[in-house]
């Protein structure tokens, strides 16, 4: 707990997993990010667009 | 105390309510602390914080007030925590508030006997006055508007609390009492590359309520529509009578949606930059794009302050506003916006009109997607199935929209959360799914004493609220056409675009039951292997004769 009347413990996260920590902090390129999105699937109901050709995404030509 | 929520994902948003109430106490010179179990669970194997730890934290001080709050889906956890709090701090006033308790406070007080008082809806003024009562020792809570108070075996409502007319008066949260480093570490989300790669993300919420009237939604008691439902127990016309009285007394007109000024919002961001050097901002407002004037002013000011390059951001919007004013997306992008999340819900115009009632059409959805693509932003949209009047044709409209747009979507299941119009409209239907005796009574097959019936309904409500989590899983359904097992099978077929199996099953179910919800229109014949085969055979026979 953090309070305004006593010294608060450092909020450094305990039990860190060094591998997951590395993954959490790594900066992704646009390509790596897109790859991650495609591999992770439509998590939590968000819509994911998949096409080899980015210009084809959304399929507006078909509307 | 902030309960754990969404254990299957990391904590992403600061507990705004706790920070604001802590600020109010600090401004009055009081002592206050925030026990954020939702953040601290990351130090406990990402699981619920052990009861022993909670107990030790609470009993470490002699608290006058212990407050607990959260979204609707925290009910089950709060019910576990309340006895721990009571035991660890027997003399404190146990105050509850937030979406989980705001819509049916009288029932919550019956279900959780440890709670003394529930704050209904917007809490700042109500809490401030209640705090003064405790501090002065008067403890005259009946004169504080917006409360539901335990009174021996009964409950008492005080007069309704008018919504705050000037949100600029709300203090910024006491950020120094948040577990900021835990949030910075774990709040990585994949809505955009910028949000994914950021190292110090902060979340803010400025808007209260939403101008749309979606039937599945509610706003933690912070919009006029919510207050109508609360004080009318789901009868908005009855509730409106009381809301008008509080309007008159307070010289206000309480709105469905309210914002502080853009200046207030930008000053908030500058504060976060100065104190925490944040590099990404998640604006959790329900519907920023619905307020064009506010959004444009905010974006202009954000750029004028030079924040657009250093602190990228993302937010939520709605399709009708973007479809009719597409330039808004470019304005937002220029100001640093990297994603906008939209609730598309369904691509069936019938469902959008009859069930969802957001004021959007399939055409709005398409125009919004085209606009987002043009701005080279990621389209983020959510859908749901299991809407009350949705049939196989409506589901095909939605999956057809996904197929045409090359989209993969795992839809939510429409869930009648307490406080939403679909809950009030279907309350008996929801409760009988948790107690089959109620179904038999509703079918007038049995006559039962009113008090017994009331008790069964309360027990059923308890089971429903305990089970309510995110709508990715099942609880009660409000579908008039499909059962939960059917919805889960349909959800899977839709997710994988397996229209062949979906329509074959529809044929089978129609033959078995004769129910019209399974009979698909000829519009979908090209998706249907049975209809295609039949057509082919008929053509072959025609040719051969």
Which residue in A12, A30, A59 is closest to B193 by CB distance?
A30
User: Is A58 in Cβ contact with B405 (below 8 Å)?
Assistant: yes
Which residue in B36, B409, B470 is closest to A47 by CB distance?
B409
Residues of A in contact with B411 (CB under 8 A): 45
Per-residue pLDDT of chain B (545 residues; tens, 9 = 90+): 999 999 988 999 999 999 999 999 999 999 999 999 999 999 999 999 999 999 999 999 999 999 999 999 999 999 999 999 999 999 999 999 999 999 999 999 999 999 999 999 999 999 999 999 999 999 999 999 999 999 988 999 999 999 998 999 999 999 999 999 999 999 888 888 999 999 999 999 999 999 898 999 999 999 988 998 998 988 888 988 888 888 888 777 788 889 999 999 999 999 999 999 999 999 999 999 999 999 999 999 999 999 999 999 999 999 999 999 999 999 999 999 999 999 999 999 999 999 999 999 999 999 999 999 899 887 789 999 999 999 999 999 999 999 998 888 899 999 999 999 999 999 999 999 999 999 999 998 888 999 999 999 999 999 999 999 888 888 999 999 999 999 999 999 999 999 999 999 999 999 999 999 999 999 999 999 999 999 999 988 887 77
Residues of B in contact with A3 (CB under 8 A): 31-34, 61, 177
Residues of A in contact with B407 (CB under 8 A): 47-50
Instruction: State the maximum Cα–Cα separation within chain A, in Å, rounded to a whole number.
Output: 64
CA distance linking residue B108 with residue B85, whole number of Å: 16
Sequential DSSP letters for B434-461: T-HHHHHHHTTS----HHHHHHHHHHHH
Q: Which of A34, A36, A46, A62 to substitute to test the interface with B, most B CBs within 10 Å?
A: A46
Query: Which residue range is the domain that position A34 belongs to?
Result: 18-58
| pLDDT given at position A61 | 34
Reported as type and span, the H/E element at residue A45 is none
Find out whether B385 and B471 touch, Cβ atoms under 8 Å: no
Q: Is A27 a domain residue? A: yes
Q: Is A2 a domain residue? A: no
Distance from CA of A9 to the nearest CA of B (A): 10
Residues of B in contact with A31 (CB under 8 A): none
Q: Which two structure tokens, joined as six digits, stand for B296?
A: 């444009």
Q: Is A50 a domain residue? A: yes
ipTM of the complex: 0.87
CA distance linking residue B101 with residue B17, whole number of Å: 14
The count of structural domains within chain A is 1
Find out whether B7 and B35 touch, Cβ atoms under 8 Å: no
Q: Return the ∠ at Cα A28 (arms to A26 and A30), rounded to 5°.
A: 175
CA distance linking residue B281 with residue B284, whole number of Å: 9
Distance from CA of B440 to the nearest CA of A (A): 36
Distance from CA of B157 to the nearest CA of A (A): 32
Q: Return the ∠ at Cα B528 (arms to B525 and B531), rounded to 5°.
A: 65
**Which of B10, B375, B39, B403 has its CA nearest to residue B190?**
B10
**Helix, strand or coil for residue B296?**
helix
Find out whether B480 and B354 touch, Cβ atoms under 8 Å: no
Q: Which of B3, B174, B193, B341 to substitute to test the interface with A, most A CBs within 10 Å?
A: B193
Topology of domain B16-167 in CATH is Rossmann fold (3.40.50)
Find out whether B181 and B4 touch, Cβ atoms under 8 Å: no
Q: Between A and B, how many CB-CB pairs are < 8 A? A: 129
CA distance linking residue B260 with residue B291, whole number of Å: 12
User: Is A56 in Cβ contact with B197 (below 8 Å)?
Assistant: no
Q: Is A7 a domain residue? A: no
Strands B378-385 and B280-283: unpaired
Sequential DSSP letters for B364-422: HHHHHHHHHHHTT-EEEEEEEE--TT--HHHHHHHHHHHHHTTEE--PEEP---TTSHH
Query: What's the DSSP call for residue B36?
Result: B
CA distance linking residue B36 with residue B45, whole number of Å: 15
Distance from CA of A52 to the nearest CA of B (A): 11
Distance from CA of B255 to the nearest CA of A (A): 30
């Amino acid at each position: 707990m953090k309070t305004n009347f006593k010294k608060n413990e450092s909020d450094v996260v305990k039990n860190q997993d060094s591998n997951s920590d590395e993954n959490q902090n790594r900066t992704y390129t646009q390509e790596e990010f897109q790859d991650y999105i495609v591999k992770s699937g439509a998590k939590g109901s968000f819509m994911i667009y998949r096409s080899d050709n980015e210009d084809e995404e959304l399929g507006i030509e078909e509307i | 105390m902030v309960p754990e929520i969404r254990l299957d994902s990391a904590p992403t948003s600061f507990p705004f309510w706790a920070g604001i109430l802590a600020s109010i106490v600090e401004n009055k010179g009081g002592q206050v602390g925030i026990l954020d179990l939702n953040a601290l669970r990351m130090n406990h194997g990402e699981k619920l914080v052990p009861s022993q730890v909670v107990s030790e934290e609470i009993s470490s001080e002699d608290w006058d007030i212990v407050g607990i709050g959260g979204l609707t889906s925290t009910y089950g956890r709060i019910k576990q925590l309340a006895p721990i709090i009571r035991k660890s701090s027997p003399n404190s006033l146990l105050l509850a508030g937030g979406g989980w308790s705001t819509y049916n406070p009288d029932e919550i007080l019956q279900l959780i006997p440890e709670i003394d008082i529930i704050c209904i809806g917007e809490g700042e003024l109500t809490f401030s006055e209640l705090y003064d009562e405790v501090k002065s020792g008067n403890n005259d809570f009946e004169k504080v508007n917006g409360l539901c108070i335990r009174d021996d075996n009964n409950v008492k409502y005080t007069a309704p609390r008018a919504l705050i007319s000037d949100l600029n008066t709300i203090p910024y949260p006491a950020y120094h009492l948040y577990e900021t480093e835990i949030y910075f570490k774990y709040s990585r989300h994949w809505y955009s590359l910028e949000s994914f790669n950021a190292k110090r993300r902060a979340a803010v919420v400025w808007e209260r309520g939403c101008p749309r009237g979606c039937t599945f939604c509610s706003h933690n008691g912070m919009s006029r529509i919510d207050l109508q439902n609360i004080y009318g127990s789901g009868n908005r016309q009855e509730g409106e009578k009381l809301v008008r009285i509080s309007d008159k007394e307070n010289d206000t007109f309480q709105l469905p949606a309210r914002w502080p000024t853009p200046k207030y919002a930008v000053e908030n961001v500058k504060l976060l930059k100065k104190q925490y050097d944040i590099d990404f901002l998640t604006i959790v407002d329900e519907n920023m794009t619905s307020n064009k004037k506010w959004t444009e002013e905010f974006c202009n000011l954000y750029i004028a302050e030079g924040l657009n390059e250093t602190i990228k951001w993302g937010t939520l919007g709605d399709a009708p506003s973007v479809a009719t004013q597409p330039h808004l997306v470019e304005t937002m992008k220029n100001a640093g916006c990297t994603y906008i999340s939209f609730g598309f819900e369904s691509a069936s115009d019938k469902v959008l009109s009859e069930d969802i009632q957001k004021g959007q059409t399939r055409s709005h959805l398409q125009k919004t997607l085209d606009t987002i693509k043009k701005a080279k932003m990621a389209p983020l949209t959510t859908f749901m199935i299991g809407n009350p009047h949705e049939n196989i044709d409506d589901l095909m409209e939605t999956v057809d929209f996904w197929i045409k747009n090359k989209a993969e979507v795992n839809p939510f299941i429409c869930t009648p959360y307490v406080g939403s119009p679909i809950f009030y409209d279907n309350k008996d239907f929801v409760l009988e799914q948790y107690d089959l005796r109620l179904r038999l009574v509703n079918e007038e097959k049995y006559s039962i004493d009113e008090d017994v019936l009331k008790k069964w309904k309360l027990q059923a409500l308890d089971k429903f609220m305990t089970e309510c989590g995110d709508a990715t899983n099942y609880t009660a359904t409000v579908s008039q056409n499909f059962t939960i097992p059917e919805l889960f099978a349909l959800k899977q077929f839709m997710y994988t675009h397996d229209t062949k199996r979906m329509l074959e099953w529809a044929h089978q179910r129609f033959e078995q039951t004769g129910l019209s919800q399974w009979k698909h229109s000829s519009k979908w014949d090209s998706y249907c292997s049975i209809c295609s085969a039949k057509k082919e055979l008929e053509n072959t026979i025609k040719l051969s004769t």
